[in-house]
Structure formats: C-alpha cells, structure tokens
Structure 1
C-alpha cells in the first residue's frame, strides 16, 4: 500500500467524531516490514467514538463486508477496531483510548507497570506498550496536536521504568524454582509455560536496561538478543532450552538448569547495560 493511500485513509479517519489522530505502527513504522506484513493503524480517540461513521468508512475502504467493533469489544487491553482488506492488502485499525495512553505514560514514569490478561497474548499486554507504540510510531494525522506532544514525552524512556523492569527479574528466578517442582511428574506443559514467561521477563528486563521500548511478544527474544550487551547467543540458547522440553524429567531438569544460567547472565547484563 502506497504512502499516499495511507495518508488518504488517515485523513479520512481523523475526520470521524471522537478521533484525535492516527498513528502508523508495527513493522511498517519501523521499516522492517515485508511484502506479507499487515499494516497497523492506531486510531486514537477521546470521549465518544462515532462507530457508525467508522463502519461506513471501513466499508468504503474495505468493501461491503468490512466492519469495526465498538470500543472494548475485543477485550480490556486490545481495545477494538477492525481487520480490513484494502487494495488487496491486510490493514488493521486498532483503537487506542487517549486517556488510557496518558495514564500508562504517567505510570511508566513512576516505574509502575503490569502485564494484563488478553486473548492472543500469552505473556499478557504490558500497559507501557501503549506508550511504546506512540514513541515508535509514525504520526499520520494529528489535527489537534495531541499526539505530537504525547510522542515527544514518550520518546524519553522513563528511568523509573528501566529500574522496575530490571528489578522484575526476581520473577524469572522464582519461575525456575516453581517449574522444578513439576519435573518429577514430567509435566512438560507446566514447565514450558514457566519458561515462556521467564524468557519474556528477561526480554523486557534487557530492553528496560537498554532504554528501549518492547511492545510485542512476537519477536521479543530475537529483539532482546540483538541489544548491545545482551547475553551471548541469547536467542539460540532460548531455542535450545525449549528443545529439551519433552516430558523426560532429566531433559526438563537440563532445560531449567540452562534457563537458570540465562537468568543469571541476564541479571549481570542488565547491571552492565544500566551503568
């Protein structure tokens, strides 16, 4: 999809009552997209959103079967929107409540964060992802100037959040211990779940130490491995750990021993990166 077409769509969206602005996100905003990538448009809104007008616009761009949701219909943190096909290309419209983004920015500045349950997000949605989306996105429409001001603030990674994410590594160490209790039973599903969360916590801690926003579980381990100062061969070692998870207690123990080593190295790496 051409930049001109995206700009046209953003301008039309910005004309809908309640829409404060439109931000291009995802791989397209970061310049890492491929021919198969979706195009993500964040629709930032305040107050009452005119869903009927958005549905009419969705049908205009995406055809007669296109539709959008009411705010909150997809869940508490993936607020809603629509999965459209525009000019034979997948385009996602994603709602973002501007007031909630502001709260997330304030919390991040105080070092307060949490991972929230949401379908499709096994680690959970970190509330500070809202802030990272604004920081890393490309503003396509901002008729009232609210998004430009927000983006300037969001691009300054909060020192308190950095400290909190690194301090959160206690959970990774805790997860190694609780997962070991499942080893004698060969409970590979439980061990795998603990390992997934453990490495997610490590990835966020490494990004926090580096002052980089991490807003997506997909590719989080690879992104962490690419950070300067990350533990050597981080991604390959994570992959190897999951290769040991097959129900054999001896191999499960080996997986957890390797995971424990990575947690220790991550802790040391974060200390060095935060200096």
Structure 2
C-alpha cells in the first residue's frame, strides 16, 4: 500500500468506464472520502447504482482490467439482501470497493423515509441491522461522479435533508430502548450476561439513531455511531463515556447487571430529554 489515495482524475476515469457496463446508471463516491474524513488506511468506496439486468460478466472483465487478473466481482445479492454485492479491489495499490445499489430500491427507501417508515434489516456484518433509510443517507452524503441520465443527481438533491417524518419516527423509536431495559432485567436472575449485552447494544443503537434524528443528521452505519452521536450539539452529557461504561461492567454478577441496566435506563431518559430539547 502506498498510503496515497487514488487520485480524483483516476476516480472519474473509473466512473466513466463503469458507465459503459450495461445496467449501471450512475456512480457515487461514498464513505469517509466523500465526507472528507478519510485517513491513510481508509478504503475508497464507489457505489455502483444499477437497474436490472446488470451485466456482471462485463463488470467482472472491467474489474480485472483495472485491478489485475485476480480481481472479481459478485453476482447481485451475493453479499446479502441489503449490502447486495460488488468487489473488494486494489487499484493503483490502494483499496477501492465497488458496492452495488439497486436504484429502484434506493428510491423506494427514500420514499419510505419521507413518510417516516423505516426498519432495521438482518444483514451479515451489521449486528444492529441495516436501516433501510441508509440507502438515502448514502446518496445524501456521497459525491456523484457519473450520472448521464440525471437520476442519481436528482435523488442526491432530494435527500439532502433528513425528512421531518423520519426524524420524528426515529425519536419515537426510543420506546424500544425503554422496552429493552425492562426485558433485559428479566435475565438478571439467570445471570444471562450475553443476552443483556445484546439488549444493551440495541438500546445504544436506538439512542444513537434517535439523537441523529432529532439533530436532522443522517446516520448510516453502526461503526462510529456512538462517537457521532456524542459529538452532536445537545447530546446527553458524557454520552460516549457512559455507553463505554455500560459494556465494561457486564459480568455474571446479578448486582452488577442490575446496576448496568439502571445506568442504561438513565441514559435512555437523558436521550429522550436531549431529543426533546433538540427538536424544540
């Protein structure tokens, strides 16, 4: 690895070549590079927005041409229902990820978000689940590299602001965090630390999404979600430290488990208060 990101000119060249693959309608630069927060070890994420049928054979041939004979891409859906598919490539000595996105599914996710409808979907590698509105958030936070038809640019402009109905729904979703603290207490007598830890993870995830909803900010990934929530103006005091403390105190001692759940309940209440203040 060189530690030097793939150049802007190279990215635009790749995007132009990708547009020659039947089925691809647009290319979006995503991830930390699009947000300007990349580090020397960050991958470059390229969203390949397609409409079926996607010519995977032609895409595979292009992958080998730009990333070497060992490169390959997947069939659509091979990485699971929400990550979809793509390829982990090395271009000019640097990691470049091609990630499929079905444009019609992305548009539907944006419509659902505008109506305050969302859900977390099971997906390998995503313990909280993939929120369907992440598709819209990816477009909002990304940089359009190629879009001959204008569809991707139009969607990018449409989803810049988190829809008011989604913001309200995410804050209302705090009911689940409150519910889970009560459910987890039933596992204290059984010393079921693993189950309680699982409940705590979801409680924290729901709180992070509620805070982002209240702040009108897209949250599209579990990675770094707690730090991102803690950095929001108006977030509960010491949010990140309090979250970290929850997990460091989980063991098989019922007294410790009860104390952890008491702290979690306080965090949920403080999150609700913070959301109320942020949405005034």
TM-score (norm 1): 0.99
Q: Secondary structure at the match of 1:71?
A: coil
Q: 2:183 aligns with which of 178, 203, 206?
A: 178
Cα-to-partner distance string for 1:198-245 (whole Å, 9 max, x where unaligned): 000000000001110000000000000000000011001100111111
Mapping for residues 116-131 of structure 1, pairs under 5 Å: 116-131=121-136
Q: Number of residue pairs matched?
A: 275
Give the drift of 1:74: 0.9
Alignment of 1:136-155 (within 5 A): 136-155=141-160
Quick one: which of 53, 57, 61 aligns to 2:62? 57
| 2:28 aligned to which of 14, 20, 23 | 23
Aligned to 1:187: 192
Deviations 1:62-116 (A, max 9, x none): 1111111111111111110011111121111000000000100110000000000
Q: Give unpaired runs (5+ residues) of structure 1.
A: none
Residue of 4, 7, 12 corresponding to 1:2 = 7
Question: Can you give the 5+ residue segments of structure 2 that lack an aligned partner in the other structure?
Answer: 1-5
Q: Does 1:169 align with 2:174?
A: yes
Q: String of CA shifts for 1:11-35, please: whole Å, max 9, x gaps.
A: 1111211101100111011111101
> Alignment partner of 1:94: what SS?
strand
The match for 2:79 is 74
Shift of 1:187: 1.0
Partner of 2:268: helix, strand, or coil?
helix
Residue 208 (structure 1) aligned to one of 213, 216, 227: 213
Shift of 1:156: 2.4
Alignment of 1:87-106 (within 5 A): 87-106=92-111
- Paired with 1:244 and 1:170, the residues of 2 have a C-alpha distance of 24
Offset from partner CA, 1:137-169 (integer Å, 9 cap, x none):
011111111111001101122100011000000
> Structure 2: how far apart are the matches of 1:143 and 1:108?
26
TM-score (norm 2): 0.97
Confirm or deny that 1:158 pairs with 2:163: yes
Q: Flag as ranges the 4+ runs of structure 1 deviating above 2 A.
A: none
Instruction: Tell me the CA shift for residue 47 of structure 1.
Output: 2.3
Question: Using the alignment, how far apart are the partners of 1:156 and 1:243 within structure 2?
Answer: 36
1:243 aligns with 248
Residues 1:222 and 2:236 aligned together: no
